Structure 1
Amino acid sequence: MVIETSHTFQLLIADDNRSFRETLRELLEPRLPLAIHEVESGEEAVEYAQHFRIDIVLLDMYMHEMTGLEALRVLKDLNAVRPCILITSEATEELRRNAQQLNAYDVLNKPVRRQELCTTVAGALRDAYNETIL
C-alpha cells in the first residue's frame, strides 16, 4: 500500500498504554507518510488538537477520566480534526452505533492487525483528503 502525496500527514495517537502507542507507531511509520504524535489521555488529545494541526486521530476507547468516545465528541464539536478511529478491546454494537453517530471513521478491535490498521488509516486519509492510494 502506498499513498501518493507531496506532504506528511499529522497523526495523533491517544492511548494510556505506552507500549501500545509504540506498537502502533512501529506498524504505521514505515508504511504511510505520517508524522506521529502521542498523548496519554483523551484530555491531552483534545488539548493537543486545539494547539496543533492534526490530520487524523487514533483514540483508545478506555482511558482514564475521558473515554475515546468522549474525546471524539469534543474533537468533533471543536472541528479540531477530521477522521477519528477508535481502537478498543470491546467493540460492542452499542459502541459502534455511538461512534457512527459521532462520525468516527471506524472502530478497530485490539489486538489490532497491521494490515487492517494500515488499510483503515490509509482509507481515512484518502476519503478525508482525496489522496491517491495505490
Structure 2
Amino acid sequence: MVPNVLITDDDADFRGVLCDALSRRGLHLVQASDGDEALRVIEREPIHMVLVDVHMPKVTGLEVIQVLSERAHRMPYVLMSAMMDEEIEREAARMRAYKILRKPIRLQNLRDIVCGGLAETYGWRPS
C-alpha cells in the first residue's frame, strides 16, 4: 500500500515545503489550495490522511475536519495554524483530530506524526 496524503493550505510555498519534507517517505502526496478543493479531492480519490490549515478561503480547515469526522471511514487528520487558539483546539479535539499543530511546524515532528498516524490507522510503515 502507498498511502495518499492530502496537504491542504492556501499558501502554495508552504504546501511545497511539506511535500518536500514528506516526499522521501514512500507516500503519494496530493495538494489542495483550499478546503473546498480538499473536499472534492477526498470525494474522487482514496485519501488516507489529511493535513489541513485552519484559516483558508471558501471552506476552512475546521469545516473540512467536521465533514471528515462525520464519515463512517475514519482517517487521521492533522489541523495546522499559525493563529491557533484554545477555542480552535477544543473544537478540533471534539472532532477527534489526530494532531493539532501550531505553525511554524518542525518538519521532523511532522514526518513522525504522519508516519505515526498511518501506522496506527493502517499498519503502514515507511519503506
Q: How does the TM-score come out when normalised to structure 2?
A: 0.92
Q: Which runs of 5+ in 2 are unaligned?
A: none
Shift of 1:8: 1.2
Which of 65, 85, 92 is the equivalent residue of 1:92?
Answer: 85
Identity percentage of aligned residues:
33
1:22/1:80 CA distance change after superposition, 3 Å = farther
Return the alpha-carbon distance in structure 2 between the equivalents of residues 80 and 20 of structure 1: 28
1:52-131 alignment runs, 5 A limit: 52-79=45-72, 82-131=75-124
The equivalent residue for 2:21 is: 27
User: Could you say which residue in structure 2 is the equivalent of 1:18?
Assistant: 12
- 1:9 alignment counterpart: 3
Number of residue equivalences: 127
For residues 24-64 of structure 1, give each alpha carbon's deviation from its aligned partner in whole angstroms, at most 9, with x where no partner exists.
Answer: 0011111x221001011101111110110000000011000
Whether 1:45 and 2:38 are equivalent positions in the alignment is: yes
Unpaired runs of 5+ residues, structure 1, are: 1-6
1:91, CA displacement in angstroms? 2.2
The one of the two structures with greater contact order (alpha-carbon pairs below 8 A, sep at least 6) is: 1
Q: CA RMSD in A?
A: 1.7
- The offset of 1:81, in angstroms, is 5.5
